[in-house]
Structure 1
Amino acid sequence: MSRTPEGPAPRAGVTSGARPPGVTEREHQRSGLSELRDYRAAFSAAALPMAVVDDRGHVVRANDALGCLLGADPAALVHRPAAELVGLTSDSSTWRAYSEVLSGERQQLRCTLRLKHADGRPLWAEVTVVPMGEPAAGTGRALLSLADVSDRRELRERLRHLRIHDPVTRLPNRTLFFERLTGALETGPLQEGPAAREGRIGLCYLDIDGFKAVNDTLGHRIGDRLLAAVAGRLTDCAEAGAHRTGGHLVARMGGDEFAILIEDSAGTHQLTELARSVLTALQRPFDVSGTRLSVSASIGVVERASAGTSATALMQAADTTLYWAKADGRARWTLFDPERNAHRMTRQALSSTLRPAVERGEFTLEYQPLVGMADEVVRGVEALVRWNHPRFGQLAPSRFVPIAEEDGAIVELGRWVLRTACRQARRWQLEHPDERPLFISVNVAVRQVWDSDLVADVAEILAETGLDPRLLQLELTESAVMGSSGRPLRVLQALSDMGVRIAIDDFGTGYSNLAYLSRLPVSVLKLDGSFVRGFRYEDGAHPSPADETIVEAMVQLAHRLGLTVTAECVETSGQAERLRRIGCDTGQGWLYSRAVAPERIAELIGTRPQEG
């Protein structure tokens, strides 16, 4: 029920006024009575329901229109409390304002009330109460009138319905969804006293897999009809699941996204059951205008206590969980996982601070020796980047390099790694002029080849540091170089022509198409550690003859093509001995050394690393 008390309004009534000059007292009185009769006649004949009430609120006089509205003879309404007749007692604030008008403390009351006409139809009436004349407090009368505003009210309700409902599916839209969500979150504990329990809220947030293809191929008309059919099945699922607890709202959030809000969740099991039923319902084919369509849905499921949860936080969790469902393969539901979300938040934190971290000098390089298998003397080192994060501590490349590759920060970071590594290699060379100089091996991401002028960067850094190009080795993954053509192949060829060595990292895990090796400017193959691990004798494990055969074949082929071979992840002397016998040129792994600071590498130059 809506009530709208308002402020001052002109006073109404009949006053005697002063006698005009030249008019006798009798004539003046006769004129006043005639005017009063005219007023009463107008009052009785008025189409607007009205009543005159005294200072106690009792009806003094009612017109025919009011009698018709209430289904009573106007004379029968006299002496009855007007407030009870029109519902002014239903709300304390309205009753108080009405009483103040009667007592002369307020100049007007205007409110909107829902009434019932004598013929049974409901109506909305705007009720106005104003004092009559200039009464002393507690001695005056007031005029009560009612205006039927049902049409206006209905129009407003219709406009509101259009504003909060989706025209395609007729479901509540995003606006109404958030109104209901906000209201549900503001609700306190359910029940009162010892029986009170914590209110919980649940949300299934979904979008339709494959909907864009339907729109693009069959047109928006079919797409809209499909959305309407989906809405019907979602509503059926929600109604079937709401028979126990109620409070389910199905809304179209926009596009092909829908939400099912459970305002009084019984727990995670209720949400997951609902999600399963939705998946099952949507996987049944749709018949849309004679066209048979099959779609599925990805659903993010969130369930938590209402207390302490905001609408924004709940929707962020739902959106994240929906993204997981789609990333995990679609046509499935995924439950919100705080631990997985924490990892995502950490990833976002790393992504947002990665570029500034290069400028702040938070990255350092460690170096792992590459040892000659024949004499076990250090021949070179691989530069491995570390991030000394102020919040998360030292991070290995696996934690941040994939992020850097995704957002393009790898170009700037890779340039810094290359310059720092070449500068360090040149410093070792100058500090140990009598020893054979170490070559430096640096990893290069695919985006560095595509998104930067890698050839120009390498040439500039070599000129700046004075490092011989033959002492620089660039490592690219097998999947990055196999099948290379166009720009990548031209880049690799230009670097090779410059004297830089190109190595294929993790060889044997990607395409393993050896035919490409004949046309790529590659100098080194680095065998993936998974092959080397099959060589173990230790811990009761038996070496894999197949791994040894594969490695031996790859080494022989590489040597025939003029390539050298480096074995990664060499951890035991048994592995080293077998690799040496097969013909591997260099080895890298914990048997020789972990990645260490540059000072430790300086101690190893010209020596054999101590095993362990």
Structure 2
Amino acid sequence: MNGTSEGPTPATDLDRSVITQSDESDSARADESYRSAFTAAPLAMAVVDREGLVVHANDTLGALFGSTSEQLIGRVAADLVDLASDARTWHAYREVLRGRRAKLRCTRRLKHPDGPSAWVQVTVAPLADGGPGVLLSVADISARRQLQARLRHLQMHDPVTKLPNRTLFFERLTAALEAESYELGGTGRVGLCYLDLDGFKAINDTLGHREGDRLLAEVAERLTRCADQAGYGRTSAPLVARLGGDEFALLVEDSTGTDQLAELAESVLTALQAPFDLAGQRLSLSASIGVVERHAAGTTATGLMQAADTTLYWAKADGKNRWTLFDPERNAHLMTRQALASTLRPAIERGEFVLDYQPLVGMSDGRLRGVEALVRWDHPRFGLLAPNRFIALAEEDGSIVPLGRWILKSACRQARRWQLDHPDEPPIFVSVNVAVRQVWDSDLVADVAQTLAETGLAPHLLQLELTESAVMGSGGRPLRALQALSDMGVRIAIDDFGTGYSNLAYLSRLPVDVLKLDGSFVRGFQYEGGDAPPSPADEVIVEAMIQLAHRLGLTVTAECVETAAQADRLRGIGCDTGQGWLYSRPVPPDRISELLGSVAPVGPGQPAVGNP
């Protein structure tokens, strides 16, 4: 060690001067390179100060606006690229200028001075060196937008008919329902014609899908012409769309009412009536159309389409080749029917059904001989429902089997209770209606045998009623079931007799004990007070049926007996029992208990027993 310190040699003033001059030279060269790159860049750019004025602009930006870059200096940048056209973008731009927001990016459509307008993407961001102001860049995206537009058109249009497809239709429909057009001079209403071609599947299957597509394309052309004619003199024509398969829709925005939609639907039916030339053949075609028209406010796209679909179904069910207007009352009935159908089986399990009983009275002495059990549904929402509201539904979905089994057991149990409570009175029989499906879908014979055994009711005190159309022509299992029930001692009755086959010769070969004459015959008899003229033909027919029935060993019950005059005539021609409001409406079981032992009025001018 020699005592000297080792390390970097201190810089002299001359060294510092040389370094400073070198840095300034490098900075100048870098700045010059930056300016050259900025000026020659293919991306249109400008430097904008904190006041929003252009400080520097490159040649590309000048060319975009048909000027030189020098001519843009001092211009308001927001005006050049239309940043003040909407409040949201303008606010965001001001925030970037003030340094409170990192970046703004938006799309604008600019009018080129020498040609068509161009779509551009505008970006505003702080300068990279942190200097005052911001960098504004403008990228031409017209080619990209055109490609997107072509792709969207392909995505939103049906390739066969070139019409708007389901996606575009619902987009337009939703926009029409959300637009407050009434504030802009519109009607605030919307209309829809929803159509389905009748029998198109058969044409498609016969001639092939290629010819089927040709037919769809020709249908689309005719629908478009109808829409154009409907839109003549109006703000816009209806939108025609293919929703899929052979389903089309015509959407009318700002409709003027149902008359406009009805006229459009009629024009469509007329246009489709002209024959189509297809595969060397002239084909006729028709359509069914569901028409809906309503206020746009409060309407959803789903709700409108459901109404249109329901109405189209009505048009099909009513015979096709027609248009049908949506009916709220008819729809409410349908919705109620669907609601009942969906809750029918659970209602049986919950015990929501009750039985009323209508007396069957001997015509000769006026005494109570039996009762018919009539089921009611004590619905928690719709109240007490008569059988005509739900029995058909039960037959359709098969719930008539468990419901019928419950009715049978409840009625037999009640008949046995009456018998035990009134031991001094002749026991009355109970009549229970049986649907054909109960015979096919269940072991009715076993159900009856088990019920009689459980309740202790004698077989001859049970009467099973089947409709005439169900009994006539019976063979196989139904006939064997009826025969087994008859052999058991159960009475078999034909309900509503006279409305079906009325084949008494065939009837003689069936195990039937009772005929219940349909009420339409009884209503033709002489009424009290001359309210309606007599119908001699009805009396002759009824008398003949009663005589023939008696010769076959059958008894006859007349339904719908409402006046003493009717009862007198029926008794005079030999009818055995009567049922109707003259004697009693259907009543709860306790009212039947009160009637046991009483004598029903058979003479004119006396009050009816059992009526409140």
> Could you tell me which of 451, 455, 480 is aligned with 1:490?
480
**Cα 1:610/1:103, change in 2 over 3 Å:** same
Contact 1:505 1:528 in 2 (8 A): yes
1:411 CA displacement: 2.0
1:118 CA displacement: 5.3
Residue-by-residue CA offset, 1:510-549 (whole Å, 9 max, x unaligned): 2333443244322222111111222215343443232223
Q: Does 1:580 align with 2:571?
A: yes
Matches within 5 A, 1:27-426: 27-117=22-112, 119-135=114-130, 140-188=132-180, 190-191=182-183, 199-243=188-232, 244-246=234-236, 248-426=238-416
Contact 2:311 2:326 in 1 (8 A): yes
Q: Does 1:590 align with 2:581?
A: yes
Contact 2:187 2:254 in 1 (8 A): no
1:141 CA displacement: 4.3
Unaligned segments of structure 2, at least 5 residues: 1-14, 603-607
1:464 CA displacement: 0.7
TM-score with structure 2 length normalisation?
Answer: 0.87
Residue-by-residue CA offset, 1:452-503 (whole Å, 9 max, x unaligned): 2222211211111111222211111112222223332333233223222221
Contact 1:246 1:264 in 2 (8 A): no
* 2:10 aligned residue: none
1:606 CA displacement: 5.3
TM-score with structure 1 length normalisation?
Answer: 0.87
Residue-by-residue CA offset, 1:202-243 (whole Å, 9 max, x unaligned): 222232222233334333333333333333322222222223
SS in 2 for 1:413: helix
> Could you tell me which of 399, 419, 423 is aligned with 1:429?
419
* 2:462 aligned residue: 472
Give the counterpart letter for 2:65 in structure 1.
L
Give the counterpart letter for 2:309 in structure 1.
D
Q: In structure 2, what is the Cα distance between the partners aligned to 1:133 and 1:425?
A: 99
> Could you tell me which of 445, 449, 458 is aligned with 2:448?
458
SS in 2 for 1:170: coil
Unaligned segments of structure 1, at least 5 residues: 1-19
1:127 CA displacement: 2.1
Give the counterpart letter for 1:574 in structure 2.
A
Q: In structure 1, what is the Cα distance between the partners aligned to 2:115 and 2:490?
A: 95
Pairwise CA RMSD of aligned residues? Answer: 3.0
1:120 CA displacement: 1.5
Give the counterpart letter for 2:516 in structure 1.
K
Contact 2:181 2:254 in 1 (8 A): no
* 1:545 aligned residue: 536
**Cα 1:199/1:574, change in 2 over 3 Å:** same
**Cα 1:276/1:415, change in 2 over 3 Å:** same
* 1:523 aligned residue: 513
Contact 1:411 1:452 in 2 (8 A): yes
* 2:4 aligned residue: none
Give the counterpart letter for 2:300 in structure 1.
S
**Cα 1:300/1:595, change in 2 over 3 Å:** same
1:257 CA displacement: 2.8
> Could you tell me which of 522, 525, 532 is aligned with 1:535?
525
1:133 CA displacement: 4.6
1:382 CA displacement: 1.3
Contact 2:372 2:431 in 1 (8 A): yes
State the identity %. 72
Q: In structure 1, what is the Cα distance between the partners aligned to 2:593 and 2:125?
A: 99
* 2:12 aligned residue: none
* 2:8 aligned residue: none
Q: In structure 2, what is the Cα distance between the partners aligned to 1:340 and 1:179?
A: 29
Contact 1:365 1:417 in 2 (8 A): yes
**Cα 1:512/1:97, change in 2 over 3 Å:** same
Give the counterpart letter for 1:159 in structure 2.
L
Give the counterpart letter for 1:202 in structure 2.
G
Q: Does 1:569 align with 2:560?
A: yes
Q: In structure 1, what is the Cα distance between the partners aligned to 2:478 and 2:160?
A: 49
